[in-house]
């Protein structure tokens, strides 16, 4: 997304496609084909170099029942909402509007095959695929390399007299549904990968890591409520300094009705974060004109009740995909603001 005097133009979205095993695909004349293993680093370097005009990098991973075109539309919609919210209410984000360095995000979209029948069997198949891609397959390592690559190309904060004005980019992760699992696995993998870093938050910085992920926003996460105390325990030592913020809505049938039947437990996207390695802060999603003070988001885990906002949706999934709202853009902008 290029900067202008008005602030934003059309987004320059970079896509990173994965096959069913989690291996990256590249476009060819005969359609998408797996990237040869020997060329993986070169492919990442060619397609995922952050542009110098970007102040923030937003990595988005979609969820269940999302086609390739729908995933691209989702990122466009999200960045459009962010643009309108920022332009109309800059006063809510004073650290993003500092002279000489306007807030200009660059979106990276990770796409994966998530379509299935809207049934319990379809839900289980995509759940199992997401798990296999993230743990037994290649997706966690690939996305971890992507995050490590972006981190290594952010500027050294020690080179800037004021850390918030450094020439590097802030890194924000946004996931929806099963895409949240991908991101958590990726950050866990990066704990043993290249060092990374962050500013702004009071949570302890991982030892020996000058760069970290600056925020993680998980929209309607399709994982059990205790996932952070069981599956994703390694996040405690990962290159993550900012908060893990997860939304939930009791109108989300995918992570309520279907998740309860598939996993015998309600999902985070329906009931919020349950047990976790650190205390969980709880709050209601705020309106687009109501600020999020630093203190309400400055926690390792934040569970955001969006039941009054994410309400639209028919059929088996309910409001599971009603996450592209102005209030979501406001929450993302607030996280970016407090990262500085």
Per-residue pLDDT tens over the stretch 186-196: 787 765 544 43
Q: Please compute the mean of the pLDDT values over residues 128-146 and round it to a whole number.
A: 71
- In 3D, which of 60, 91, 294 has the Cα closest to residue 177? 60
Q: Is the pLDDT of residue 159 over 60?
A: no
For residue 55, CA distances in Å to 155, 158, 205 come to 11, 17, 21
Q: Residue 199: its pLDDT value, please?
A: 39
Q: Residue 164: its pLDDT value, please?
A: 32
**Crossing angle (nearest 10°) for helices 40-47 and 139-152:** 50
| Residue 61, strand partner residues | 110, 175
Full-model pTM: 0.89
- Measured distance CA(220)–CA(200) in Å, rounded: 25
- Measured distance CA(270)–CA(65) in Å, rounded: 18
Q: For the chain, list the strands marked E by DSSP.
A: 14-18, 24-26, 33-34, 56-61, 105-111, 170-176, 215-219, 244-248, 280-284, 301-305
- Measured distance CA(213)–CA(194) in Å, rounded: 12
> Tokens in use for 180?
């949240």
C-beta separation of 214 from 242 below 8 A = yes
- Measured distance CA(18)–CA(34) in Å, rounded: 8
Q: Residue 163: its pLDDT value, please?
A: 31
- pLDDT bucket at 5, cuts 50 / 70 / 90: very low
- Measured distance CA(339)–CA(199) in Å, rounded: 6
Q: Is the pLDDT of residue 240 over 90?
A: no
- Measured distance CA(140)–CA(134) in Å, rounded: 5
Q: Residue 1: its pLDDT value, please?
A: 44
- Measured distance CA(234)–CA(185) in Å, rounded: 9
Considering only residues 237 and 103, tell me which one the structure prediction assigns the higher pLDDT: 103
């Amino acid at each position: 997304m290029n900067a202008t005097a008005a602030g934003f133009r059309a987004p320059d979205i970079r896509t990173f496609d994965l096959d069913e095993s989690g291996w990256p695909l590249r476009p060819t004349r005969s359609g998408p084909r797996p990237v040869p293993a020997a060329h993986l680093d070169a492919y990442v370097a060619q397609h995922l170099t952050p542009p110098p005009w970007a102040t923030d990098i937003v990595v988005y991973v979609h969820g269940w029942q999302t086609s390739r075109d729908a995933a691209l539309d989702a990122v466009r919609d999200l960045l459009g909402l962010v643009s309108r919210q920022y332009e109309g209410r800059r006063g809510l984000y004073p650290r993003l509007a500092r002279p000489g360095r306007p807030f200009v995000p660059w979106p990276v979209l990770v796409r994966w095959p998530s379509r299935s029948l809207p049934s319990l069997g379809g839900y289980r198949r995509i759940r199992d695929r997401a798990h296999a891609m993230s743990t037994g397959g290649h997706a966690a390592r690939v996305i971890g390399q992507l995050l490590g690559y972006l981190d290594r190309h952010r500027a050294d904060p020690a080179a800037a007299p004021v850390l918030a004005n450094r020439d590097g980019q802030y890194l924000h992760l946004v996931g929806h549904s099963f895409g949240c699992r991908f991101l958590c696995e990726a950050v866990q993998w990066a704990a043993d990968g290249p060092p990374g870093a962050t500013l702004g938050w009071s949570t302890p910085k991982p030892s020996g890591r000058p760069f970290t992920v600056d925020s993680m926003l998980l929209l309607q996460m399709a994982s059990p409520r205790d996932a952070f105390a069981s599956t994703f325990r390694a996040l405690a030592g990962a290159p993550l300094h900012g908060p893990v913020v997860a939304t939930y809505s009791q109108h989300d049938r995918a992570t309520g009705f279907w998740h309860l039947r598939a996993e015998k437990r309600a999902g985070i996207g329906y009931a919020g974060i349950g047990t976790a390695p650190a205390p969980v802060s709880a709050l209601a999603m705020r309106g687009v004109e109501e600020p999020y003070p630093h203190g309400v988001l400055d926690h390792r885990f934040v569970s955001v009740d969006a039941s009054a906002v994410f309400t639209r949706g028919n059929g088996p999934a309910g409001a599971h995909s009603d996450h592209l709202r102005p209030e979501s853009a406001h929450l993302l902008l607030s996280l970016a603001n407090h990262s500085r």
